Amino acid sequence: MTPGLTSGGHFFTQTQTMMTPRTQTELTRDHPNFPVLENFLYLQLMNNQVENGEIQITSRSSMGKLTGGRTSYDSDGKISGVFNYRSGVLSGPTQLLHENGNVLISGQHRGGKMTGTWYYYGLNGEVSDVVSYVNDLRHGEWIGFYPSGGLLEIVHYHRDKKHGLYKRFTMSGKINLTGRYRQDKKVGLWRVYHHDTGEYIRTEKWDNDVLIGVSGTQWSKTGG
């Protein structure tokens, strides 16, 4: 479509053909740079640094700056992402989709930055992670879930660093590990419990991410 002004003289609609990767479906929550990779994918899409798959993008511009919705499609014609802009900056709801059409990531941008609660989903629509962001930084709770839906872990962040109470749970819902972080480093007493039974194993003492002591009784099937 050839760009043109509306009757008001301020907006025009444009349709572009671009390329976009589908690599977001390869991400797993176990990857150490999980959120960083997600941000990288957004940057690829937004900056049009593209590699594979054809997409059609329909958007509205105001004074030459992208405004309104932007939808991307893969080479099979399936929607791969839905974005919103205000004056050329990401603002409002954002979604990336799995190849099967289920939502992969859902959240809000404000002023071009991730903000509020973001949801990450598995292929079958199950929630894998719920993460709080402030100005593109993890800030607040990160809650992870097992594929079955059970609670896996609760991590507290402060300005993108682990800070505060940490809890990990067994698949049956019992505590598996608990302790505290300070600026991404383990500190104080960490209590370890058996990953199946939840039975207490030991207490570890940490100082600035260095293990300095261990106490407790080691669990064993024989009771020895």
Residue 96 corresponds to which tokens in the numbers above? 């990336």
Looking at 125, 145, 165, which one is the last position of a domain? 145
The average confidence (pLDDT) of the chain is 76
How many folded domains does the chain comprise?
Answer: 2
Of 123 and 4, the structure prediction assigns the larger pLDDT to 123
Verify that 89 and 164 share a domain, yes or no: no
Verify that 139 and 156 share a domain, yes or no: no
Confidence band of 60 (pLDDT split at 50, 70, 90) = low
The reported pTM is 0.71
What's the domain range around 88?
Answer: 1-145
Verify that 140 and 41 share a domain, yes or no: yes
- How far, in Å, CA of 206 to CA of 31, rounded? 24
Report the share of the chain in percent with pLDDT over 70: 68
Verify that 37 and 89 share a domain, yes or no: yes
Verify that 138 and 51 share a domain, yes or no: yes
Verify that 154 and 140 share a domain, yes or no: no
| Most confident listed range (25-29, 50-54, 79-83, 203-207) | 203-207
Q: Which pLDDT score, from 0 to 100, does residue 113 have?
A: 93
- Domain of residue 211, CATH code: 2.20.110.10
Of 224 and 170, the structure prediction assigns the larger pLDDT to 170
Verify that 164 and 86 share a domain, yes or no: no
Q: Which pLDDT score, from 0 to 100, does residue 87 have?
A: 84
Verify that 25 and 110 share a domain, yes or no: yes
pLDDT one-digit tens code per residue, 104-120: 999 999 999 999 999 99
Confidence band of 135 (pLDDT split at 50, 70, 90) = very high
**Dihedral sign (CA 28, 94, 22, 66):** negative
* Long-range contacts formed by 6-14: CB under 8 A, 24+ apart: 10/62, 10/63, 11/60, 11/61, 11/62, 11/67, 12/60, 12/61, 13/58, 13/59, 13/60, 13/61, 14/58, 14/59, 14/61
pLDDT one-digit tens code per residue, 15-42: 333 223 333 333 344 444 444 444 444 4
pLDDT at 222 over 80: no
